[in-house]
Structure 1
């Protein structure tokens, strides 16, 4: 393993653990987690502050604050994370094609 691979491993491991934590955040309206719904666009950690870049299925989603609170709770369980910031973005726009195969099956989506 090269030095670059060794240095990258902790970052990859942390991102995997962050994604695993976010898989526990279930959209109460859809009954599927945010990761499999394809709503998580990016994750970063700087000085103990986790930033989650994400979108929602629709603008004006009535449960935006609920989801943000659930994300903060899930990620704050990781020892490296002291604070969580959720950054909502609208581009690229979310479409059902962003869902994982699991989410499509779970929600009965058989579109293109």
Structure 2
């Protein structure tokens, strides 16, 4: 029997989970920072695959491996997702203009400075 997936609902669940992942040096989550470029789904034989394309604030990020693992973990925490992949890209490069308005407010209120 074919399983039907509400991909919009599943994407929203992934986003909620991504908003719980933080770079330990930055006081806002990676989704609002603008590090998540794309969330895609593929359905094959009733299995749901999720691919998250993301970047880092810097290619030399010391916690890169940990962040990538956390992103995969929170995607897999969504019940409907059977397998998750994280694709790390640096083009386009991240810059502070990619942050949400909420992230800018948090960064400003915390006194965090980001030089680019």
| TM-score normalised by structure 1 residue count | 0.83
1:33 and 1:26 map into 2 onto residues whose CA distance is 4
Q: List per-residue Cα deviations over 1:35-58 (Å, max 9, x = no partner).
A: 100000000122322111001111
Structure 2: give runs of 5+ residues left out of the alignment: none
2:84 and 2:60 map into 1 onto residues whose CA distance is 22
2:113 and 2:6 map into 1 onto residues whose CA distance is 37
Match of 1:44 among 40, 43, 64: 40
Structure 1: give runs of 5+ residues left out of the alignment: 1-6
Partner SS state of residue 57, structure 2: coil
- How many residues get paired? 104
What is the aligned partner in structure 2 of residue 88 from structure 1? 88
* Runs of 4+, deviation exceeding 3 Å: none
Partner SS state of residue 10, structure 2: helix
Match of 1:24 among 5, 13, 20: 20
Q: Which has the higher helix share?
A: 1
Partner SS state of residue 25, structure 1: coil
Cα offset, 1:83, TM superposition: 2.0
Q: List per-residue Cα deviations over 1:69-99 (Å, max 9, x = no partner).
A: 1112211111111222110111111110000
| TM-score normalised by structure 2 residue count | 0.80
